[in-house]
Amino acid sequence: MRNLAIIMMLLLTGCATKPKPFIPNTALEPIVNQTSEQTATQPTVVVPQQIWTATGKFAARTLTNDGKKKGGSVYFVWQQHGQDYQVTLTGPLGQGRTVFVGNRQQVTMQNNEGEWQADSPEILFENAFGWSAPVSFLQYWLHGQGATPQAILNYDAQGQLLSLQEQGWQAQYSQYLQALPQKIVITGANTTMTVLINDWQHNTQTP
């Protein structure tokens, strides 16, 4: 009987479902590091697209579309591979667990209520949480880069980014971790987000 129980345990273990890994769909492409009028002395350089993961926490305070004040915090894991990304939110603001998987063309959101698709993560984020956030820009802002040529970047005398303005949003950079941003305060018309990054992992590849 003891041998039979051991065999049954091994069979059940072998049938267990493993978590689905993040598999990117697009090849790597070079990106351009944006500069601004304030930093005209700094050259525009092409850097290799990075494969990276950032983990941390963000807190938000916002005035929703129906005039209600809303706030909360959430832990996040942001995985980026070229144009592909997977962002996992866990905690009260994330309503348990919310996952965004997408690229520049399309994004899918999954939570405990189901799965939805849209052309941009902003649409899904606002539908899920009731307020807007510049989700598409964050993959650049987390690294201290502008997402568009119109971004205005301000640096200190040592070349460290102090603030960034883009399409009605402003990001203030006050702390760095191994030359990468650690604390970013992002403000918009009705929203303030504080992003704290506690770990960076990079794997740089050249196309």
3-state secondary structure at position 48: coil
| 140: phi then psi, degrees, rounded to nearest 5 | -90, -45
Which token pair is 145? 């880069």
Return d(Cα 196, Cα 184) in angstroms, integer: 7
Which helix (H) or strand (E) element contains residue 123? helix 121-129
Q: What are phi and psi of 72, to 5 degrees?
A: 165, 180
Looking at residue 178, its pLDDT comes to 81
Q: In the chain, which residues have pLDDT < 70?
A: 1-49, 93-95, 204-207
Q: What is the pTM (predicted TM-score) of this model?
A: 0.73
What pLDDT does residue 23 have?
A: 41
Q: pLDDT at position 13, please?
A: 36
Residue 117, pLDDT score: 95
Q: How many CB atoms lie within 10 A of CB 77?
A: 16
pLDDT for the residue numbered 206: 42
In the chain, the domains with their CATH numbers are 24-204 (2.50.20.10)
**Residue 153: how many other CB atoms lie within 10 Å:** 23
The reported pLDDT for the residue numbered 165 is: 97
Check residue 128 and give its pLDDT. Answer: 83
Convert the pLDDT of each residue in 81-116 to its tens digit: 988 999 999 987 656 899 999 998 999 999 988 999
